[in-house]
Structure formats: structure tokens, C-alpha cells
Amino acid sequence: MKIFLAQQNYHIGNFEANTAKIIAAIQEAKKQGGDMVVFSELAVCGYPPRDFLEFNDFIEQCLASIEKIREAADTIGVLVGCPSRNDRPEGKDLFNSAYLLHEKEIKGIVNKSLLPNYDIFDEYRYFEPAFEWNVLNFKGKKLAVTICEDIWDLVDDPLYRLRPMDMLIRQQPDIMINLSASPFDYVHADGRKGIVKQNVLKYKLPMVYCNTIGSQTEIIFDGGSLVMSPNGDILTELPYFTEALQSVDWQDDGSFTQGVVRNTNTISPVALTPEKFEPNKSTDQIHKALLLGIRDYFGKMGFKKAIVASSGGIDSAVVLALACEALGAENVSALLLPSQFSTGHSVDDAVQLSKNLGGKYNIIAIEDIFKSFEKALDPIFMGLPFNVAEENLQSRIRGALVMAASNKFGSILLNTSNKSELATGYGTLYGDMAGGLGVLGDLYKMQVYALARFINRDKDIIPQNIINKAPSAELRHDQKDSDSLPEYDILDPILYQYIERRQGPKEIVALGNDPALVNRILKLVNTNEYKRNQFCPIIRVSPKAFGVGRRVPIVGKYLS
């Protein structure tokens, strides 16, 4: 039996495009003599559809797409993800389902059992868990079909009270097939392989695992679909961060003709968040994920052009370099907005960066605008010392100017705030926190430096002076980030323990950190939730990102 894995990038709610893409893969698989083609979880509508699932019209379009796909599934079997209706009076109205289509008929439907309700996942809000478990019969073989989370309960502290495969194995299946929408983070890929390995070793069956790719606003899916033998060898593995259609030949004796692609002995059995902060970890994967996130956000939203407020600092430099690589330098413009506090080398560095990238740039000095604001505020500010009000005023002037350019030329402003700044509130609402998409908001400052070095791996794109100089907001004379925050090599590991690993102050102090410093940092994180609540979507690359996956009360008292 020749089985194809269709690793595709879907657009949520774009039924015409998704259905056409699915049918095109079916036709190609048929052309190459395929017996079956496997697609990913909720492929028909895209994942995660969220509250679109509450619209009857949305579900009707899902089911209409299945009808079109069914017509293409004539001589070939198709396993594809799509919602289905729950006809029982009890429970929620929908299931998260996998459809087996063959001979232009729906031969079977499998419903997802384990509905994740943590981090970015909210499936139990919409779906009813499966209440029966049956293998699907196809060409004399018994298929144990599961959907994403259904295979993820093989851990020491399971979240669920049952395992679908424990039910299905009683029916003596020949193979396991899993349709997934498993998101990327920089520690997840090996953990994903580890969980597939645990399943094949436990149930002594091969697994065909099909994952989606693409970016859905903040969530990145990286693909990495694979076939694994019962002894844990990867027989074939599809590429990461790109679409692919690839086949495996499954013999009647249960073997595959493909050779071993990778032995999994060194792979962790589960996805773990490392105990220590590792700023240089998986920088190449993070780079690919951010490029995909930018491209898909623009492509799926119909945007063409981007604008970046370029300060001569490391964050704006990295964002500008990523934008030019993702969208083409001809579609990206930089706006330099120096004040009387900006150093000459910051302007020169920003200009050199744009020249290195081959992108457009303009310079608008804000000193006169700032002075006009000072004059307007004299009646209420007269005699008061220069402080954060004047600093934030500069940031808001820049925000207003760059948004004016965004509106005038139809460019989307890419935000340049990093995770260290967002965590501690080191940013100005309606100023440098403005933007349509947060590119670096899930990377700590030290990771931004690692990414800058990676971007420069072949040649100097980002001027070395930008990488080497002490970071500064340049909102007053001789200002440095370290005036307000601990050095980043001290700050970032503490933030990582609190945010990614959810460690409390006692645990973080026990790692050798100063108690007063820990309390200060954690208080900054909690008291600045109101700022993050007003921030733009952030491309997620870590196990715990700000945004939909981290829900903290704005007015909570804990550590504040």
C-alpha cells in the first residue's frame, strides 16, 4: 500500500483555497499510484478556527468542502480532518474529526478523544470528546486513527483518564495514523518525535504521523511529518517549515521499503522545557519560524508592505533584517526618527543597515516636534523636572509618525519590542509598543543577540556596532537599559524561570539568585500585565509566550 503524507499550509476559513489544495494533493497522489493520502487535523477549515466554530454557516461550509473532496476520493483513500456534528442530544454540538473517504463515499469518521485545554489550546470550549473507539477498515487493513493530542497522554502525570489507543489496540489494528496540528516551539520537535516513539514501542505498531505547517497569526506550525517503525526508527521525515507531499510503501508483512532516516535513541521521550535558560538554543529554527510567521501574516491578510521604526538598536535591526528576508527588501521601508538624545552613530548604524539590506529609508528628526509638545505642555509642566513623561512623549511622537507613514502608504508596522522589555514593562504604550505584529515579542534580549549573530553568519548584514554597543532607548542623555533593568544576562534567566517554567520566587531564589532582585523582577512582570493586554499579536516560538497561551489577571495581587 502506497501511503502519501500531505503536509500543507492552510488558511483558516478559506474553504475554496484549502479544498483546492487538498484536491490537488489527492490528484497528485493518484497520479503517482497512491492508495491513500493522509492530511492533517482540521485541514478543511484550518487550525485553530476558534469561535468561527460557533457559526452554523462555517460548519456548513466545512461539510460542503468534504462533499467536494469526497468526489475526488474515487480510486484512492483519503484521511482528512474536519469538524463533524454530534447528533446526540447530550454534549457539545461538534466533534473534531477525521474522515475516511473512498470510492466517493464517507467510509468512516473518527472523533478526537483528548481535547487539550491548556496554553494556546481551547478545544474543549467547542468540541465533544469521542465516546466510542473503532478501527477503520481499508483495503483489508485495520487503521487505528487518532487525532493530535490523542497520542500525547503517555507521560508520568497524564492529563486525561483514558488513552484512545488502549481502546483501539483491542481490535488488533495493523497501523497507527495520527492527524496533527502540533505547533512549533524551540524545544518541541524532538519531544514530538519522542511521543511518537513511545506510542510505537508501547503498541508495537508503525505510525504515520501527518502534521500541518504554516502560521495562523501568532501560532507557527512547523510540519516534520514522519513515519516511524515499531522499533522506533524514523523511516521517512518530511521537511520543516515547508509544504511537502511524500509517500511511503507499506508492505503486506507490515514493513516499509524506506530505509532508516534517523535513529531516535537520543530523543527525549516527552517535550520538556529545559531547566536552564539557553539563549543560543535552536536559533536556526527560530529564524525559520519568524520568517514563516511574517510571510504568512502578510500573505493571508493580503498585506504587501511593511514599515519598521529603525533606531540603530539591536531589536529594530533584527526585525528589519527579518522583514526584508521574508517579504523582499523592495517591500520594506525603514523610518529613522532621531531626537536630540540620539547619538550620531545610532543614525549612521541605522542608515548602514538599510544600505546593507538594499531597502528604502527616510529620516525625520523629532527634536522640533518634541519641543513644540513641551511648549504646549508648559501650562501644566512648568517648573517640573524632566522625567518619564518627557521620555514617553518622544516614543509617542515616533509612534504617531511611523503610524502616519503606515496609513499613508498602506504598510503594516512591525513591532520591535522583545520579551525582556514586554515582561518588565520597559516600553511605551501608544509609542514603541505600537504595531500590527510583534516579531520579537517571544524572544528574550539575549536570544535577539543570538539571532543577530545568526543573521550575520555568512556576512555582516547587521553592522557590528549595533551588536556590540550597550542597548539604550536614547530618551535622555547617556541613557542605557541597565539604568532601569538588571543586565540582560541576569534578567533573562530569571524571567525564563518565572514565565516559561512557572517557578515561584522561592524556587528562583533557590537557584542562587538574590531575593530582593527576584522580587523586584517578578513584581515588574505582574504589574505590567495591563500593557501586554493592549499589545499586538506576537509570533510564538517558546513553550510559553505572552498572548493567547498565557492568561494572567491584570488586577491580580500575586507578587505585585
- Using the 8-state DSSP alphabet, how is residue 99 labeled? E
> Alpha-carbon torsion 182, 113, 121, 21, what sign?
positive
Characterise 545 by phi-psi region: left (phi > 0), alpha (psi -120 to 50), beta (else). beta
What length does the chain have? Answer: 560
Cell representation of residue 96: 473534531
Known catalytic residue at 408: no
Q: Cell 528628526 belongs to which residue?
A: 365
**SS3 label, residue 216:** strand
Question: Could you tell me the three cell numbers for 302?
Answer: 493580503
Measured between alpha carbons, how far is 435 from 205 in angstroms, rounded to an integer? 49
Is residue 112 part of the annotated active site? The answer reads yes
C-alpha cell at 42: 482540521
Name the 3-class secondary structure at 100.
strand
Contact 47, 65 (CB under 8 A): no
- β-pair partners for 81: 98
- Active-site residue identified among 62, 82, 112, 128: 112
Quote the CA–CA distance of 280 and 124 in Å, as a whole number.
Answer: 36
Contacts of 376 (CB under 8 A, 6+ apart): none
- Contact at 8 Å (CB) between 33 and 2? yes
Catalytic residue among 45, 62, 148, 324: 148
Q: Tell me the C-alpha distance between 219 and 19, whole Å.
A: 22
- Strands (E) in 175-258, as ranges, are 175-180, 207-211, 213-216, 219-222, 226-228, 233-237, 244-249
Return the C-alpha cell found at 504.
515561584
Distance (Å, whole) CA 351 – CA 345: 10
- What 3-state DSSP class applies to 315? helix
Whole-number Å distance between alpha carbons of 188 and 447:
17
What's the rounded Cα separation, in Å, for the pair 336 and 301? 26
Residue 82 is among the residues annotated as catalytic for this protein: no
165 contacts: CB under 8 Å, gap ≥ 6: 144, 146, 150, 151, 176, 199, 202, 203
Backbone phi, psi, residue 55, to 5°: -100, 120
Residue 346 has a CB neighbour count (10 Å cut-off) of 21
Question: 30 with 75: CB under 8 angstroms?
Answer: yes
Question: What is the CB-side half-sphere exposure of residue 263 using CA atoms within 13 A?
Answer: 2
- Do the bridges between strand 262-263 and strand 233-237 make them parallel or antiparallel, or are there none, so unpaired? antiparallel
Which residues are designated catalytic? 41, 112, 148
